[in-house]
């Protein structure tokens, strides 16, 4: 299968021919930053279009279809509209925290985004504690949301932010425990190591029932973590106007919107990496011809294909289930998901110690 590190090492040696070491490194860093920014923006634009189209089809509508063929440029037009909207200066907010919040939200999602393995050799941050770093980085986003709601000095935003804080910290426990279940099976925390360990079968197939249960728990908790779907009570528009970002206007609001969609992508990217083999192709032992055909498909297509499937499922949740109340939400996490994921972890660790996994 094609290894993208060939391209990166070629660029590296090409730059080193003509430039001193620090110059080559500087240009590489700038290239990495630009590539990340482009990918970040492209994925956000794609996701906004994707969500609007899927939602329209669920409701028997056509969705955006005026700007460009099938409305594909609609989200680009929306982005420009957002850029030329006025940033309203409010006279009752805590200016410093109010302006700091978008930075925290975007930086947290960017850090988590940098950890995802997009293809063979296409990963910016590959720590030996990778998946742990990813959870740590993405929880900074909660801080941004809490600050946004608190600093706006508005009752709607305060209620939205505190609900969001309670919801995100609660569901982070289930996310953490289902990730630990997979780390137990893989024996490593490094993201590239976890992907490599799934060469002969994705963890959802090789991990018996505990892996499937962990996948379902992760999917539910991940939906809650992105403040979407049936768990969108931090920004419940029928009761809280727009929740924690009510007071933000123009591009300031755009950052929260961007981060929300990117968090959706990150949740599905992590689910892909942990349970569905990351960029590893589907292999069935014994079917040589089938495996060779699968190997022929580039790794980046495998990764994004699996991500799109999971994102579609999460969007499906949103348009199927009614919104939960705050007490139902906390009950679901603390009385059902948390005990279930603890039991699941115990079963998985017994399986791993006894060597009963595939």
Partner 1 sequence: MNSAFLVVVLITGIALVGAALLIAGWLSPRSFNPQKGEAYECGIPTRGDSWMQFKVGYYLFAILYLMFDVETVFLFPWAVILRDVGVAGLASIAFFMVILVLGLVYAWKKGALEWK
CB of 8 to partner 1, least distance (A): 12
Shortest Å, Cβ 207 to partner 1: 13
40 binds partner 1 (CB under 8 A): yes
Q: Is residue 340 near partner 1 by the rule CB under 8 A?
A: no
Q: Cβ closer to partner 1: 296 or 334?
A: 334
Please identify, using beta-carbon distances, which residue of 63 and 250 lies nearer to partner 1. Answer: 250
Closest approach, Cβ 180 to partner 1, in A, equals: 5
Among 43, 45, 145, 189, binds partner 1 (CB under 8 A): 189
Stretch of 1-9, 67-75, 90-98, 305-313 contacting partner 1, by CB under 8 A: 90-98
With respect to partner 1, which residue has the nearer C-beta, 10 or 29? 29
Residues facing residue 291 across a β-bridge: none
- 112: its two tokens: 């988590």
Residue 23 contacts partner 1 per CB under 8 A: no
Q: Examine residue 255 and tell whether it contacts partner 1 (CB under 8 A).
A: yes
What token pair was written down for 18?
A: 């003509």
For residue 119, which phi and psi values (nearest 5 degrees)? Answer: -175, 180
Q: Which is nearer to partner 1, 26 or 62 (CB)?
A: 26
Q: Which of residues 103-162 bind partner 1 (CB under 8 A)?
A: 103, 106-111, 114, 124-127, 129, 132, 150, 152-159, 162
Question: Any contact of residue 169 with partner 1 (CB under 8 A)?
Answer: yes
Whichever of 111 and 314 has its CB closer to partner 1, that residue is: 111
CA distance 221 to 146: 19
Distance separating alpha carbons of residues 52 and 73, to the nearest angstrom: 12
Distance from C-alpha of 167 to C-alpha of 172, rounded to nearest angstrom: 9
Q: Name the minimum Å distance from CB 268 to partner 1.
A: 20
Of positions 290, 296, 334, 358, contacts partner 1 by CB under 8 A: 334
Q: Which is nearer to partner 1, 313 or 343 (CB)?
A: 343
Specify whether the CB–CB gap between 337 and 345 falls below 8 A.
no
Binding test (CB under 8 A) with partner 1, winner from 183, 216, 282, 294: 183
Contact between 88 and partner 1 by CB under 8 A: the answer reads yes
Q: What angle do CA 139, 331, 169 make, to 5 degrees?
A: 10
User: Least distance to partner 1 from the beta carbon of 137, Å?
Assistant: 9
**Token pair 């740590």 in the structure block, residue:** 136
Our measurement of the distance from residue 27's CA atom to the centroid of its chain's CA atoms, rounded to an integer in Å, reads 28
Q: Which of residues 271-310 bind partner 1 (CB under 8 A)?
A: none
């Amino acid at each position: 299968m094609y290894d993208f590190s060939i391209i990166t090492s070629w660029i590296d040696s090409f730059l080193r021919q003509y430039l001193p070491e620090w110059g080559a490194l500087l240009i590489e860093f700038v290239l990495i930053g630009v590539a990340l920014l482009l990918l970040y923006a492209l994925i956000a634009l794609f996701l906004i279009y994707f969500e609007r189209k899927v939602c329209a089809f669920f409701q028997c509508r056509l969705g955006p279809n005026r700007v460009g063929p099938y409305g594909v440029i609609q989200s680009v037009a929306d982005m420009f509209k957002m850029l030329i909207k006025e940033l309203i200066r409010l006279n009752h907010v805590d200016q410093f925290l109010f302006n700091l919040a978008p930075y925290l939200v975007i930086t947290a999602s960017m850090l988590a985004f940098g950890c995802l393995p997009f293809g063979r050799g296409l990963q910016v941050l590959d720590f030996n504690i990778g998946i742990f770093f990813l959870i740590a980085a993405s929880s900074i986003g909660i801080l941004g949301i809490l600050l946004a709601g608190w600093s706006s000095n508005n009752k709607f935003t305060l209620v939205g932010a505190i609900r969001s804080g309670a919801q995100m910290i609660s569901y982070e426990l289930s996310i953490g425990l289902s990730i630990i279940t997979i780390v137990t099976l893989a024996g490593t925390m490094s993201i590239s190591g976890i992907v490599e360990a799934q060469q002969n079968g994705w963890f959802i197939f090789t991990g018996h029932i505990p892996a499937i249960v962990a996948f379902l728990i992760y999917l539910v908790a991940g939906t809650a973590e992105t403040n979407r779907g049936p768990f969108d009570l931090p920004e419940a528009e029928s009761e809280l106007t727009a929740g924690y970002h009510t007071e933000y206007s123009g591009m300031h609001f755009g950052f929260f919107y961007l981060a929300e969609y990117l968090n959706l992508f990150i949740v599905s990217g992590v689910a892909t990496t942990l349970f569905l083999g990351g960029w590893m192709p589907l292999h069935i032992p014994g079917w040589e011809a089938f495996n060779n055909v699968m190997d022929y498909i580039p790794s980046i297509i495998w990764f994004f294909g699996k991500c799109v499937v999971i994102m579609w499922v999460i969007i499906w949740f949103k348009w199927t289930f009614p919104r939960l109340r705050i007490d139902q939400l906390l009950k679901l996490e603390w009385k059902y998901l948390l005990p279930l994921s603890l039991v699941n972890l115990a079963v998985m660790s017994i399986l791993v110690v006894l060597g009963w996994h595939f």
